[in-house]
Amino acid sequence: MLNYDTTQRTAGIRTAAIDEGLRTHMNKVYGLMSVGLALTGIVAYLVGSNPVLLAQIFGTPLKWVVMFAPLAVVFAFGAMIHKMSEGTARAVFFGYAALMGLSISFIFAVYTGVSIAQTFFVTAIAFSSLSIYGYTTKRDLSPIGTFLIMGVVGLIIASIVNIFLQSGGLSFAISALGVLIFAGLTAYDTQKIKNEYLEMVHSGSDFTGKAAILGALTLYLDFINLFMFLLRFMGNRE
């Protein structure tokens, strides 16, 4: 029979291994997210700094495809990732990040480069702080998750409606709510990614590789949306 000291040492080794695995998992999530953001930025800059290419995309009906394609791809990706290999899922994520760069490339024609850089810097600080809070807090953030997700659905509907209404007041309200919702989602999603990894370890699941890609996509979307909503407040127009 194992004595108490042996049991404690074994539990300590197991806990240390789980903690190390969690750190490795989260580093992979943040690493993939960072590569995705870099791809988005490169594509957005290359397209956004080319007036002819911008006109060919956003001056024609093609702009509707470019604007809504990322939304369709992300839903399809979430539904089909279980059938993909990890390598395929990673490639699709990076392809999605490049497509998102194309979708938001117009910001380089609308806002000054300095204000875009400043907003990105502020977003990076806010995102890092909120993600650290979500990772370290002992408070269960799951109760606010449903409320925040419902808020995202409301934002999408309101944004589509405002494409046709072009209401300045509604646009301001959408931007303000968008910042608050995606700030909350950054903390909530970080905690969720952490908890899901721990559940997979305890259940012996082999989904951790693709889970890291899904986690990277989730935090990537939180960052991009937080950036875009902040840009509406902080961006100086050309």
Q: Report pLDDT digits (tens) over 39-48.
A: 999 999 999 9
pTM above 0.75, yes or no: yes
Distances (CA, A) of 56 to 21, 28, 44, 92, 101: 47, 37, 15, 25, 16
- Which range in 70-74, 115-119, 144-148 is most confidently predicted, on average pLDDT? 115-119
Distances (CA, A) of 235 to 43, 145, 172: 20, 29, 13
pLDDT of residue 24: 93
Q: Tell me the per-residue pLDDT of 151-179, one tens digit each, with 9 for 90 and over.
A: 999 998 998 888 888 888 888 899 999 99
Give the residue with greater pLDDT, 165 vs 136: 136
Mean pLDDT (whole number) for 47-75: 89
pLDDT of residue 215: 96
Query: Where residue 238 falls among pLDDT bands split at 50, 70, 90?
Result: low
Give the residue with greater pLDDT, 128 vs 67: 128
